[in-house]
């Protein structure tokens, strides 16, 4: 384990921003801290960086308890939201800052900065000031500045939040491949599920200062362990009575979350294959085009469901009567969830 948090508590007045956080992160992984705003994810990141001090508990980096080690001696690089570049320094000086503070040799600094300019595709821009750069370029300067002193741990606070959608996509892919080629253990904070799923090796979902679930993007998506994760990650709908759906009768009045991926919709007469006899009627409420598919909102058994429909299938319209089957749901039992499968499948 490269980074470990043990029973870490951080309170602001009466508000618990981090409530008994236990977390361990393996060396070389790219981890996302994912949660809604106010869930404590940024607090966790800032405590690891030494920018905030926990009230109790231990933070261990590289086998060393760093509770009393200042952030500058923890061997970390930090990329701030909105970059926090030094406005009165050129790109070169921004990137060189950490090395200059370490009083490295001028030649060494020059070589390292040139290497990073090439890595971040900023060669030729070294004499510019931050205000003369685009958002994506500033982001890459911030990244280069953070990794210049070769940190063993890279922390990124909402690294894509201030970048427009088109550039964000490219930058995510670039960041992922760059970090994995550097092999530096990295933790980034995000509130965007899609971003976490796309970029991270491992996702830590936080809510109300607690960790809800830790797992690979696939585990988080397919097997959400708590009602919060199921609702936050997927676009699932919460139903109060899963027993009303065909095949789920034995769970009675249990509440559950049904992800759109597991709702299959058929027009009357459309071939439903093996699930033919598990179908039940529903009404289309709303249809939205989402680029890769249609997103449907459906009324069924007095509940509301969402579903996707392929662009190749015959189109459906609001008000159309359809038939649907549910192949899987997450039943809610207190603070936990359990996967439910319909009988006869």
Partner 1 sequence: MAVTKRRSPIESPDGTKKFLTATSVIPGFGLSTGVTLTMLSLVVLIPLASILWSSSELTVADFFATIARRRVLMSFWVSIETALIASLINMVMGLIMAWVLVRYEFPGKRLLDGMIELPFALPTVVAGMALTSLTANTGLIGGALEAVGIGAPAYTRAGIVIAMIFVGIPFVARSIQPVLEKLDRRAEEAAFILGASPWQIFRRVIFPEIRPAMLVGFGLAFARSLGEYGSVVFIAGNKPFQTEIAPLLIMSELQEYDYASATAIALVMLILAFLILFAMNLIQSQAAKRVGER
Among 15, 86, 289, 341, the residue binding partner 1 under the rule CB under 8 A is: 86
Compose the 105-134 pattern: x for residues touching partner 1 by CB under 8 A, - for all others. ------------------------x-xx--
When the beta carbons of 84 and 167 are compared against partner 1, the nearer one is: 84
Measure the CA–CA gap between 315 and 232, rounded to whole angstroms. Answer: 28
**Binding segment toward partner 1, per CB under 8 A, in 49-57, 271-279, 295-303, 309-317:** 49-57
Q: What letter would DSSP give residue 80?
A: B
**Binding segment toward partner 1, per CB under 8 A, in 46-54, 177-185, 241-249, 333-341:** 46-54
Q: Is 237 in the site for partner 1 (CB under 8 A)?
A: no
- State the DSSP H helix or E strand holding residue 185, giving kind and residue range, or none if neither: strand 185-190
When the beta carbons of 84 and 222 are compared against partner 1, the nearer one is: 84
Q: Is 181 in the site for partner 1 (CB under 8 A)?
A: no
Q: What is the DSSP string of 25-70?
A: E-TT-EEEEE--TTSSHHHHHHHHHTSS--SEEEEEETTEE-TTS-
- Coil, strand or helix at 119: helix
When the beta carbons of 156 and 340 are compared against partner 1, the nearer one is: 156
In this structure, the dihedral spanned by the alpha carbons of residues 143, 146, 151 and 152, taken in order and rounded to 10 degrees, is -40
Q: Give φ, ψ of 212 to 5 degrees.
A: -85, -45
Bridge partners of 58?
A: 6
Q: Is 150 in the site for partner 1 (CB under 8 A)?
A: no
Q: What is the DSSP string of 256-296?
A: EEE-GGGEEEE-TTS--GGGGGG-EEEEEEEEEE-SSEEEE
Among 2, 80, 174, 308, the residue binding partner 1 under the rule CB under 8 A is: 80
Q: Is 241 in the site for partner 1 (CB under 8 A)?
A: no
Measure the CA–CA gap between 54 and 65, rounded to whole angstroms. Answer: 13
Q: Is 40 in the site for partner 1 (CB under 8 A)?
A: no
Nearest distance, CB of residue 25 and partner 1, angstroms? 18
When the beta carbons of 157 and 303 are compared against partner 1, the nearer one is: 157
Q: Is 49 in the site for partner 1 (CB under 8 A)?
A: yes
When the beta carbons of 44 and 296 are compared against partner 1, the nearer one is: 44
Q: Is 72 in the site for partner 1 (CB under 8 A)?
A: yes
Helices (H) and strands (E) in the chain, counts: 8, 19
Q: Is 78 in the site for partner 1 (CB under 8 A)?
A: yes
Q: Is 71 in the site for partner 1 (CB under 8 A)?
A: yes
Among 35, 40, 50, 236, the residue binding partner 1 under the rule CB under 8 A is: 50
When the beta carbons of 44 and 85 are compared against partner 1, the nearer one is: 85
Nearest distance, CB of residue 59 and partner 1, angstroms? 15
Q: Is 82 in the site for partner 1 (CB under 8 A)?
A: yes
In the Cβ-directed half-sphere of 136, how many Cα atoms lie within 13 Å? 15
Report the candidate in 271, 244, 268, 270 with the shortest Cα–Cα distance to residue 258. 244
Q: Tokens in use for 183?
A: 């092999």
Long-range contacts of 41-44 (CB under 8 A, 24+ apart): 41/189, 41/190, 41/191, 41/204, 41/206, 42/157, 42/158, 42/189, 43/10, 43/17, 43/18, 43/209, 44/5, 44/8, 44/18, 44/206
When the beta carbons of 116 and 296 are compared against partner 1, the nearer one is: 116
When the beta carbons of 84 and 279 are compared against partner 1, the nearer one is: 84
Q: Tokens in use for 285?
A: 């409420």
Among 102, 177, 216, 240, the residue binding partner 1 under the rule CB under 8 A is: 102
Q: Is 55 in the site for partner 1 (CB under 8 A)?
A: no
- Using CA atoms, how far residue 163 sits from 132, 169, 197, in Å, is 16, 10, 18
User: What are the residues binding partner 1 (CB under 8 A)?
Assistant: 49-51, 71-73, 76-78, 80-82, 84-89, 97-98, 101-102, 129, 131-132, 145, 149
């Amino acid at each position: 384990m490269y980074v470990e948090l043990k029973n870490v508590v951080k309170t602001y007045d009466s508000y618990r921003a981090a409530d008994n956080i236990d977390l361990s992160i393996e060396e070389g992984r790219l981890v996302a801290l994912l949660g809604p705003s106010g869930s404590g994810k940024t607090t966790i990141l800032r405590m690891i960086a030494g920018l905030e001090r926990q009230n109790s508990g231990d933070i261990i980096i590289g086998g060393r308890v760093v509770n009393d080690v200042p952030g500058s001696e923890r061997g970390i690089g930090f990329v701030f939201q909105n970059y926090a570049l030094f406005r009165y320094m050129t790109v070169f000086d921004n990137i060189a800052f950490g090395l200059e503070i370490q009083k490295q040799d001028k030649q060494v600094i020059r070589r390292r900065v040139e290497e990073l300019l090439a890595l971040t595709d900023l060669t030729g821009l070294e004499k510019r000031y931050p205000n003369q750069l685009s958002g994506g370029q500033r982001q890459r300067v911030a990244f280069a500045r953070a990794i210049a002193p070769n940190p063993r741990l890279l922390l990124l606070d909402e690294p894509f939040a201030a970048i427009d959608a088109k550039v964000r996509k490219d930058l995510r892919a670039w960041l992922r491949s760059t970090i994995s080629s550097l092999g530096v253990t990295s933790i980034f904070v995000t509130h965007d599920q899609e971003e976490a799923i796309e970029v991270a090796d491992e996702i830590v979902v936080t809510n109300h200062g607690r960790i809800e679930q830790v797992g690979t993007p696939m585990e988080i998506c397919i097997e959400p362990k708590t009602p919060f994760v199921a609702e936050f990650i997927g676009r699932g709908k919460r139903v109060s009575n899963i027993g009303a759906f065909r095949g789920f009768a034995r769970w009675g009045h249990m509440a559950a979350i049904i992800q759109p991926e597991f709702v299959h919709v058929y027009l009357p007469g459309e071939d439903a294959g093996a699930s033919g006899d598990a179908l039940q009627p529903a009404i289309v409420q709303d249809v939205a085009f989402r680029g890769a598919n249609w997103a449907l909102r459906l009324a069924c058994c007095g509940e509301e469901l969402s579903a996707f429909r392929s662009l190749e299938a015959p189109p459906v319209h609001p008000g159309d009567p359809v038939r649907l089957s549910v192949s899987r749901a997450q039943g809610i039992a207190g603070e936990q969830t359990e996967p439910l499968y319909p009988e006869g499948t």
